[in-house]
Amino acid sequence: MNKLATANELQAKKDSGITLNAQLQAGEADDWFEQKFDEHMAKYKTSKTPSMAIVVTKGSLDWAYPPFILASSAAALGWDVHLFFTFYGLNLLKSDLDLEISPLGNPAMPMKMPFGPEWFKNINWNVPNAVSSNIPGFEKVATGLMKRTMANKGVASIEELRELSLEAGVKMIACQMTVDLFGYDLDDFVPEVADWVGAASFLPTAQEADVTLFI
């Protein structure tokens, strides 16, 4: 019964002008199209330049390192990188950087001494908030210790990392709303700022990026 139905179906297609050869060619055309599509996508992925977009929101010394390290590293690999500085992150675009750290309320930040014997430098000095908040100038001391630790380990300064990022072609974009909100003057910032836009103008860049981060 099934053979008879198949034969009738083939005869009906033959009578309608569709040959068996044409049917086979139609099936092969689908396979050919899928193969060509896969080849085209593979070439596209190989030739496409990777991209990364980072929203930078923090303006303290410890939080300044992640965006610049990631940006400079990605740019060195040939990626297109865009940084969008908003709220306190806008401080990282100032011509004169005066960044500090705040151990207060930062439980993930034990203090380590950058000097002395190894056993002394390996101690985690977990200073309670009740103590650090009542010591005058504690944040400046902590900032100095961190800068010295970075220098001892051969880590570049924020100024150096920012310059390396700019030389590598990283696009640094300032949030115009934040500039207006905090009453900044455009002369306060480095001249290499690529653009002054709102969040709505940056979102399409973040949407199309291969990697999008919020720091």
Burial class (CB in 10 A: 0-12, 13-18, 19+), 63: middle
CA distance 185 to 64: 21
Q: Average pLDDT over the chain, rounded to whole?
A: 80
- Give the model's pLDDT for residue 183: 92
CA distance 76 to 15: 65
Buried b vs exposed e over 108-119: b needs ≥16 C-beta within 10 Å?
ebebeeeeeeee
Taking the CA atoms of residue 112, residue 115, residue 121 and residue 125 in that order, the dihedral angle to the nearest 10 degrees is -30
- Give the model's pLDDT for residue 184: 92
Residues in a beta bridge with 80: 51
Average confidence (pLDDT) over 138-152: 77
Element (H, E) at 84: strand 80-85
Rounded to whole angstroms, what are the CA distances from 85 to 101, 176, 206? 18, 10, 13
Q: pLDDT tens, 41-55?
A: 666 566 689 999 999
Superfamily of domain 51-214: DsrEFH-like (3.40.1260.10)
Q: pLDDT tens, 83-98?
A: 999 999 999 999 999 8
- 130 falls in which pLDDT band (50, 70, 90)? very low
Rounded to whole angstroms, what are the CA distances from 136 to 23, 98, 131, 147? 86, 18, 10, 19
Please give the single-letter amino acid code of residue 191.
P
Average confidence (pLDDT) over 127-146: 64
The single residue listed with the structure tokens 């961190």 is 146
